[in-house]
Amino acid sequence: MVHRTEPAWQTPVWQQALSSALTDVDELFEYLQLDKSQLPASIAAAEKFRLRVPRSYADLITKGDPGDPLLLQILPGSEELRKADGFSADPLEELAKHQAAGVIHKYQGRALLIVTGACAINCRYCFRRHYPYAEASAHQGQWQPALEYLHKNKQISEVILSGGDPLALHDGTLSKLVDALQGIPHLKRLRIHSRMPVVLPERVTGELLDLLTRSHLQPVIVLHINHPRELSEAARSSLEVLNAHGVTLLNQSVLLKNINDEPALLARLSETLFSARVIPYYLHMLDRVQGAAHFEVSDARAREIYQQLREMVPGYLLPRLVRDNSETAYKLPIL
């Protein structure tokens, strides 16, 4: 289903869904019938990094189950407040790497453009949870330095919109950005890293489809799905529409303790993704960001899981197990 574009005076359905997301911890506990004895810890953790979960995503969580793998991705908890060795605020040392406001050009031929800090969902393990977006993103109206950088660097053929979630930008804003990018002759591909089509399927509007497909830039969306249950019926139909419009769909997951650290589950994730026409791309080792240590899967366990996964799925459904790091100009394979 394509979500129709409302008249200009009307707030789009996806923005209404976004603003009705759950951000109050007390309300979340109520909504999901969770044990209130955990509430104070959650409130304390949410003060450091806000709770945010769309209601449609909350509806996929089993009520009363504190171990639900979807819940664990979004529920603030006391573990986040513990200090852990080797975990820091900016594990990839990204802040030192900006070439122009919001541009991270570390990999050959591809440049990352941080366009917003906003997200539809706040994932507790997010490596940018401490990121100072206000200083380090290219805001609308201030795109000029970033665009000039892209213009000048003729070896860049792919722009990756990142954030935050770039699809948190309104269609009108994105449309202006895509038009500007279109004017850069050496660019061939427009890649968007987004969790929105899955966590807020209403985001796939007719206008979005239009701006993604009207230019010569080949559109790629890299989704972020960690568990097969995240692929709701609504998410699947949004992905179907994107696919039908010629948008290449890839997925990256993060290997997360107690959430998806089982080979059979990852095999099921790959199969489910493919049934929604999404190709598994990366399986990331956790970035060692402060507050996320309890999600970490050891290298030894990760290798074991991956070895078993390899035996369970066809080669084209095996994501690459990688670690991001501040040294190499590519994601480092773990095996």
Ligand X SMILES: *Cc1c(COP(=O)(O)O)cnc(C)c1O
331 interface partner picked from ligand X, ligand SF4, none, CB below 5 to 8 A per type: ligand X
161 binds ligand SF4 per the rule CB under 6 A = no
Among 98, 105, 191, 224, binds ligand SF4 (CB under 6 A): 224
Contact partner at residue 110 from ligand X, ligand SF4, none, CB < 5 to 8 Å by partner kind: ligand X
Q: Which of ligand SF4, ligand X, none has residue 195 at its interface (CB below 5 to 8 Å by kind)?
A: ligand SF4
76 binds, among ligand X, ligand SF4, none (CB under 5 to 8 A by kind): none
Residue from 107, 136, 140, 304 binding ligand X (CB under 6 A): 107
Query: Which residues make up each annotated binding site?
Result: 119, 123, 126
Smallest gap from Cβ 35 to ligand SF4, in A, equals 25
Q: In angstroms, rounded to a whole number, what is the distance separating the alpha carbons of residues 137 and 68?
A: 34
d(CA 142, CA 268): 43
Residue from 130, 139, 229, 331 binding ligand X (CB under 6 A): 331
| Total residues interacting with ligand SF4, rule: CB under 6 A | 11
104 binds ligand X (CB under 6 A): yes
Q: Which stretch binds ligand SF4 (CB under 6 A): 6-14, 159-167, 177-185, 202-210?
A: 159-167
| 256, 73 contact by CB (below 8 A) | yes
Which structure tokens are listed for 69? 């793998």
269 belongs to the binding site for ligand X (CB under 6 A): no
Minimum CB–partner distance for residue 96 and ligand X (Å): 12
Residue number, 53 or 187, with CB nearest to ligand X:
187
Q: Is 195 in the site for ligand SF4 (CB under 6 A)?
A: yes
* Residues engaged in binding ligand X (CB under 6 A): 104, 106-107, 110, 112, 160, 324, 330-331
